[in-house]
Amino acid sequence: MVNVFNQYFMENSLLVKILTTIPKNLHSELLKFINSPFFNEKEEIIAFVECLLTHYPFKKPFSKEECFSIVFPQKAYNDSKMRQLMSATKKVVEQYLVVTQMQKNDYQADAMLVDYYRKYDLAGALQPKIKGLEKSVNQPKFIDEKYFYKKYRLAVTKAGVLSEQGANERNKNFKELYGNQLKETIEELNKYYFFQVLNLYSISYNFSTLFESEFEMGFVQEILKEVLENEVYQETVPLNMLAHSLIFLSDMEQENHYFKLKSLLETHAHKIEPYVATNFYRRACSYCIRQIHQEKEVYCESLFELYQTMLEQNLILVRGNFPTGTFKNIVNLALRLDKDEWVEKFIKDNHNKLAGENPDDILNFALALLEFKKGNHQQVLDLLNQVEALKDLYYNIEAKRLFLKVFYELDLIDILYAQMNAFKVYIHRNKLITNLQKKMNRKFVNVLIRIVELPPKQEKKFLKLKEKISLDKELYERNWLLEKMENHSLYSIKKAP
């Protein structure tokens, strides 16, 4: 009888998961490798891999016993022997991965040969390889962490070679050559080190923002000063981008650094990997959003420009999917800028790229936002009622607020009160909502209740509430609430001093 546990064990084994990453068109290459006596001398490993590949892409479960009977047809199942076979096979497959990756990485292969030729003092073979490394390093596809590391390692190698040559036969130019090489090595080390430090500090800042924890700049201030004041580093992409973004994200008042990053991206974004450029654009977007929350409306247009550039350069999609949060942010921003026609086209062009399990719900919600902007409140309700389950927390919260606004607009006061109470309970009980978001949502509900309950001819209360809404920057839907105050029956006294 086949053991049920073993039946599912093969499907979930690490070996099978590794084989899943190797596409079918490379299976013949893998089998050639495993059949090579240099890498594998065990016939059972060949038979085992052939058996495993018949189950590719491993969507259906299969047992260890089934494989064992094919590899060892004359033997009874032995779990210990099977585990040993799986371990040995995994090592051979990993060797295949190392070799194939090495074949794709000329730099790594040349670097290993340089070390080998240095070890055996093969100067005739060494110098051409160093020149090959220089050519490879100085013609990068993108400037990134690997680029800085390769530049540093090459500088270290060249300094080592010069040192060895000087120990054996020192010519008249040795002092100058070796001194310049040491200087270059230090500069390349600094670039690599500064890049790593600034990148880690940026990640740490994002973490502190997401989880509302403290963030301290510490000694990185000195590195920022060096990068932005030293000519060697201030023109080094993306080191300068990291420096500018870290400064403006940690200090909202440093607006010039935001505009400097934006300028650098416009000129040099093509030099860095797309996902890195995307991260810099997101940092710029984050800064704009925070400035908008501080009522600096000029940043709305700046943020819209960033989103447009990201759309044009295909820097928004993640593995071919449109992030739902960014999709919603773009729709809300464009509606805020009265770009209704642009929003309609944007939704039409991009809704089929939405990520997640419920893209239709996201589409209906986005259309509901558009119809609300147009004042078609009944259509908003119809669209929201088609939304089955918004699993994204922030979509869910905004959808609930949108329901409340529609009930107010349609004068469905009894339903409004019931939904406001339910919303307050939801906000209170949900542990995933940050304290600030809870505070801002509670304020929205409380202010909406006060607007609904404003007594007639109470001018002082009206003006006091209007002023409170105007001054409160930690209040969701503040512009809409002010608009409702403007349309209130007491609006006739809104211009009072």
Residue whose C-alpha is closest to residue 237's, from 282, 273, 203: 273
Using a pLDDT cut of 70, give the percent of the chain over it: 96
Contacts of 66 (CB under 8 A, 6+ apart): 2, 10
* Confidence band, pLDDT 50/70/90 cuts, at residue 489: low
Mean pLDDT of 442-458: 90
Query: What DSSP element (H or E) covers 346?
Result: helix 340-350
Residue whose C-alpha is closest to residue 189's, from 150, 162, 224: 150
| Residues composing the chain | 497
Domain boundaries along the sequence of the chain: 4-104, 120-196, 410-497
pLDDT at position 218 is 81
- Distance, CA of 81 to CA of 72 (rounded, Å): 10
Give CA angle at 193 (285, 217), nearest 5°. Answer: 55
Residue whose C-alpha is closest to residue 402's, from 410, 199, 20, 320: 410
Are the C-beta atoms of residues 436 and 466 closer than 8 Å to each other?
no
Contacts of 77 (CB under 8 A, 6+ apart): 64, 65, 68, 69
SS3 of residue 314 by DSSP:
coil
Mean pLDDT of 26-42: 97
pTM above 0.85, yes or no: no
Given a cut of 50, is residue 4 above it in pLDDT? no
Residue-by-residue DSSP string for 439-484: HHHHHHHHHHHHHHTPPTT-HHHHHHHHHHHHH-SS-TTHHHHHHH
Query: What DSSP element (H or E) covers 179?
Result: helix 174-210
Mean pLDDT of 130-141: 92
pLDDT at position 491 is 52
Question: Which pLDDT tens digit goes with each residue over 72-131?
Answer: 999 999 999 999 999 999 999 999 999 999 998 888 889 999 999 999 999 899 999 999
CA dihedral sign of residues 174, 177, 181, 183: positive
Task: Please report, for residues 239, 251, 300, 454, 463, the alpha-carbon distance to residue 466 in angstroms, rounded to integers and kept in the order given.
Answer: 47, 31, 24, 11, 5
- Distance, CA of 212 to CA of 57 (rounded, Å): 43
Q: Where are the alpha helices (DSSP H) in 211-297?
A: 220-229, 231-234, 239-250, 255-268, 274-293
